[in-house]
Amino acid sequence: MSESSNLNPDSIMGAIGAAVEQGRAGDRVGARDSLTRLWDVVGERGDALHRCSIAHYLADLQDTVTDELAWDQRALAAVTDLDDERARHYHDSLQVRAFMPSLHLNLADAYRRAGNPAEAGIHLSAAAADLDALPDNEYGSMIRAGIDKAQEALDSGSQQPLIS
């Protein structure tokens, strides 16, 4: 997310963003360590936006699908404690319902790769249920395409990682 007048300062969200960029720059281990330290600071009962964001990004940095799945589950659990008011306090464009397709897509893909097609299907259906909450932009297109790719992989019985 870029800086704008709609963004309220939040040092934890800033640190999450920095760790995500660290990972995108190729330092997966450093990013994972940074996010793990943030998780330890925030705690399992901390701010729901922080927990959801940390767990969501930390899942992508795991070495095993089992660990990835555990972090994806934490992200989904955290979002149940999040409301639009809190999300909009950080950025006025955020709506919790719009988080759901991505969170469920990640779970569906992890379950598919872990060999649990039934759970994968449940989460793909849940992801599709909230597609109308996604913005009509590059992010929304990416999530919609990801759902289609995951559904195709599930239908074919593939447990291989999706290729972007």
Q: Report the alpha-carbon distance of residue 150 to residue 140 in Å, rounded.
A: 15
Q: Is the pTM of this model over 0.75?
A: yes
Q: Is 26 left (phi over 0), alpha (psi -120 to 50) or beta?
A: left
pLDDT at 5: 40
96-123 average pLDDT score: 96
Q: Is the pLDDT of residue 8 over 90?
A: no
Q: Is the pLDDT of residue 38 over 60?
A: yes
54-73 average pLDDT score: 97
